[in-house]
A and B are shown apart, each in its own frame.
Chain A
Amino acid sequence: MKVIHMAKVPMPKEKYSGAVGSMALGDGSVSLGGVKGMPFLSFEDPQKQRPLLAGEVVDDISDFPPIVLDQFGPSAEDPVSWALEWKSKGADIICLRLLSTDPERKDTPPKEAATIAKNVADATGLPLIVYGCGIADKDAAVMEAVGEALEGHRSILAFVEEDSYKRMASTAVAHKHAVLAFSNLDINLAKQMNILLTDFGVDRGDIVMDPLMAPLGMGLEYSYSVNERIMLAALSGDRMLQVPMVCDASQAWQVRDCSEEDVALGDAAERAAWWEFATALAALLSGADILIVRGTKAMSLIQEAISDMGGHV
């Protein structure tokens, strides 16, 4: 018997009144944001801009887990070679963490740190997301030098928080970079950060936000829901949330069962790839415009997933 096709399912089209702002990086050829619907739904946003992938590079591997370093071999000893490795694997952005600037480590001075960033940018031609060591005062000083060195090569300076944002935000404005606004798993705090920055004089088009992507097994569900709420609010017209979102999937490696050796849990390297991938997929489905990635296998899985969901890599 042949079923007569008569049913017609109505497409649940939403009437969104807003969109995520768009932004260009590097020499202007790398663009992101501009999303007009919930992630990867082609019936909501047919021309969806695919999310960008940032490969993580650090300038001090002294306490970096060997299981991560093993993926890169000798390249991991030099930020430029490491970054080139990422470029050959299809990364759109390099996420450079200047860990050595930590006073407890090498206390690398700002000028020297800026040279590292400049070398990475020149060698790869890719835009950077640059992090310092996480100590606000030192980071602000380092970013002044980095911002200047990277002028003309628009990058993202990371990161500013509610109680310390002025100096780094001024650097971003002065040298035409974007600034990463960090907030702690809360839609209102994310919005508050963007308000603070725009009130301070940063253009909304120069802000990207990091609402803290908690990794798989360590609060992922909170982030998934906070991100979704941010996306829905942005699409319904809340201008102060219409800025691109950065999610850091590399935090997955912080979770113990991600990569600990235990035969009962299967191959550790493969498991780590899936741990990071799961974190990344949750971020993508809830609204990430940029993903920071640590593992090479996770990177290729994420690329495959993006193209399989209809975004072209």
Chain B
Amino acid sequence: MFKHLLSIRFAAAVLVAISLTSCEKETTTPQLRKTIDYSTLTETTPYSSLFVDETGKTTVDLSNGNNRYKMFQALNTYISSSISGNKQVDAAVLKNMFGNTGNAFADSTKLNTSGVQLRNVTASSWSTTEAEKVRAYFETYFTLTAEASKSVTATAAKGKAGKLGTYLVDERGIEPIQIIQKSLIGAMQYDYIGNVLLTKGLDADNSTLVSGKNYTQLEQNWDEAYGLLTLNQVYLKGSTDATRGTTEFALGSYIWEYNKGAYAKIHPAFLKGRAAIINNDKAELKKQADFIKAEIEKALAASALGYLGPKYIAATTDAARAHAIGEGLGFIYSLRFATVNGADAAFSDAIIKALVLDSAGGFWDLTPSKLTAASDAIKAKFKL
């Protein structure tokens, strides 16, 4: 019986190899797990509950994704708390957190020994040369933040770094912390989830277990994506348009805030995709991956629009305006990874340049016409 199965598996593998180039044909690969009936999945099915092996042992392992999520959170907390406590930021600490070197995280988190880092998955869908440029961009911003934080007790003004309200801005009125945080949402979270794990990652092996683990590489890829989006078993459980039902961070919270039409469908899509992996249902898997990517990109674009538009216009203080623009600039940077919509570095950079780099005053020289031009470019690209 076992032999028989193996030979079927082999035959199927050959079949797959033959039909790889054809995208319409339904293919069969050897199935490792018991088929899951899609109808058993509900909006509130916990992510880890159904995906088990024949002995009932879980095949889900969210640790890699969750550990990167926590590193991002820790990095963000370190800069934010420094500023709120009027303390200088140390660029070396940030670099260590980014690359998981020098035991940068608290021992209790066990992140130092987790074996993962943020740096090597940042812009990792790009060539090494291009990816290194993005990583260097962040490291430059770590230095700029540290530099600006020397003025943490001063009040900022045009041409002068310091604090506006509770926010640290550089001499152009740009808030480096927001640039880092919102750019990482695209360059690290979305690029790794959308362009790596849910694109190339879908071609990973699904017929053999990774050595020493209870999952296939494909299963792990999907789990890493989910684990990098949220720490919760049911993403956005119990959320309404007005109130978020779970604690989410970074990308996970912006999908809720800026994609009201789809946030509730993200968890079901992750469940269905994971079930499709178990069922060897490649077509279904790709459908779910494509859906998740498209909806995340929509959220990223809408976030940028939200900060350039309503949040900036409605702000009544320089501090609130600078904060909105800092967030917006970070999201615009992130849009370069929105491959579904055909955005790229040139697209993002042109918008950022016209908004705040062409004029020496940066943020302080912003006008409604500059903001409108940026919004219009984003709307056109993302068909919003």
Q: State yes or no: do A and B come from one complex.
A: no
